[in-house]
Structure 1
């Protein structure tokens, strides 16, 4: 019951007449850098949170083992 759809990639643009858009392209390039920095910060924060959760899980698991061994 799944429908398979064809390639939905848009056709390439004709850039031969886009001489006036070069300055806009330079301005547009500045924005992704800021977004990339924000994304990188979000990734670092997520990794830190995951690391903290992993340590808590490991501590919980080790506590269970100690209880089982009677320490």
Structure 2
């Protein structure tokens, strides 16, 4: 994969992760109680992981791959 293509995909992944996190904070159902609270925490962690993956695509670790 070429570097500019990787950066574009990384930016799109970061934006998708931010959008997912924004949905989780502002638009997710408020009546999630009990076990759904754990699901909400897991979804928040997944959003954080998505943003981290996108950042790794935008800024690859070139020194570590040698």
TM-score (norm 2): 0.41
Structure with higher Rg: it is: 1
TM-score (norm 1): 0.38
